[in-house]
Amino acid sequence: MYTLIVKFDINQQYWEEFEEKIMENARISFKEKGCIQFDIASSSSVSNQVMLYEIYQDHSAFKDHLETEHFRKFDSETAHMIERKVVETYNTDLHQCLKR
């Protein structure tokens, strides 16, 4: 599996618009064949920060995600809203989900 953590610092004036666009992107992304998990969280300590936690079947599935129309649309429509973006990637061959 291939896991990403993406942190966005959003210009506060675009917060609501960004929130709508990231939610739409997440809903569509989660329907992709290789997407296993797509979570969104807002920071409890940094008022303008959003974090994504994404798990894909493999790196190839993630690369396919980057080529989708909805991701390209999200990326182009939100670029001016983002003050900072940090992407961390993990190969999670040892990944194990614990669920109740």
Instruction: Express each pLDDT in 40-71 by its tens digit.
Output: 999 999 999 999 999 999 999 999 999 999 99
Does residue 39 carry a pLDDT above 50? yes
Provide the pLDDT for residue 90. Answer: 87
% of the chain exceeding 70 in pLDDT: 91
As a CATH number, domain 2-91 is 3.30.70.100
**Hey, where are the domains in the chain?**
2-91
Does residue 100 carry a pLDDT above 60? no
pTM of the predicted structure, to 2 decimals: 0.86
Closest CA to 78 of 32, 23, 28: 23
Count other Cβ atoms within 10 Å, centred on residue 50. 19
